[in-house]
Structure 1
């Protein structure tokens, strides 16, 4: 069937190229020679009219007839000689053009395509996806094969501070706060394996008490250190995080990404679709989903799917990257996405602390911290907001609603 379609398409293209050339061949004649012949015929008729009117005599008319006749014969000879060669040249050019195009198309397909590839029914594709899933590299193999990440340019003073933090953690390796800070700062320096090791030590230290966000963060760092591959170890941590909190949006995003990496868009689509439809519409993890959800729906067999339009709530959107950066968010690694989300929330928190803001922005910050499972910080913001806006019922109302939704008022 494939080769039949290729042959039909080739014939259609060849016909489209040849048709105008054939029309040109049938219609094209040497315009200058044709014009000369018409002029000479008109001159002969003019000679006859002058003779009838007595303007010229018979001798003069005969001489003019002979002169014009010689010109007609010469022009007709040139026209006869020129037409076959020019027509033949056009046909030869058409044949050569078609031959080059068709040969180039076939050669390009043989070079870039896969002429020997068999048809892949759905069952075979699913089997191949399962095989790819089972044959993923483990964490150590993936980290060894991962390309060296680009290191950001940082101030030397910051590097010195991180060195001091490393020394402090080495002296007290069981300090959770120190391990958390070390994982964050190693990630900002681009030392993803070191960041993963610090976060892994923190999770091991907490044992069964490790929170869903801590497990998810370790999974994201493992993915980052593995060059973007969701290894079996990272998947196991992701599953533990989702067992503790099935609504964890970052974990569900990564679960959909896992399905995509292993050739199962049909499984990834419902996960990302639910995340997108649940909202909030301005959640940072929804930006890459919205950018690719239509293509994903098509691959999943639902080409008519229309994603929901972002809702306008009247509440200021969480400050973040510009439109171009958000459009590129699909290409971010898991660690970069997590850092982007935390950076956006931290930027809003810093602005509200230094410049102040509307009650709606305070409510937004509390809700964002709750989504990131940073409950202690969210509670501290809630306490500060009560001091700032508690005397004004209409101002404290949206903040209190966000606190109640985050479970801070219980």
Structure 2
């Protein structure tokens, strides 16, 4: 409570120091008009003495008296004028001062109550810095790296440091560009290519695009055992409708994984989601004659198309359907699915961008316009 009293006193003193002159009567413009009139009368008497001594002529005396009379008249007019402000003007100024003195602090309190945080407890600066020291240090370090790279865009080491940070922050497009710069300037590695592929996939809403496939393939060339690249390539097989191949890829990845690998859980969960219905369907198709297997696969694709045609569907499902129809060389069906997917996902700009990339990859872009 003491702090509010101190603030109120300080505010009142500041406002009063500004408004105090407005409440005072203004001094007269000429404060010594009586003395000026006496001086002019003395001048007239001096003219009479000079005339009696015959120091000046009668015409000169009359001219001097006329000039002195004019000066006396002007002095009398000044004395007759009101000295300073009139009483109504002074009352108006004092009323305005009183209103301002009361309304300015009240308005400040109302604004602070509406937009401020009067109920928030006080926290010293040292405590604030201590509580958020890690976040501030990270933000400062990130800003310094970005400023350094803006001034030195050919620093490959800097891009190698910045790219994983962007990926963790969810800035996937920036991460993909940073990984590409690191590869170009600091040399290709399997992990950089795999991370760039992941960033491109996440930027496309989970769709394994052509650019992502190329980056993942480069990663596997450099390191055939790279788990990140192999996992996302299996996701690409799944999106192509090659469920048995995707299952085999994930099983091989798990078979060679260390027991304490942190990525075993996500890979096993993905494999479990593909097995079951997929295994039974693949087994049933495998038992069919070779000439009937194509028809069975087409039936599965048509079933997916019918389900999605009834409504809904995710970007991954639509991408899988469009890819499968393209693999089966059913271009009209792929174009129709592409158009329907764009209508269903029109509210999602990222999904539309992923569909546009998929259309360009499959050669459906020009025909779908």
TM-score normalised by length of structure 1: 0.34
TM-score normalised by length of structure 2: 0.38
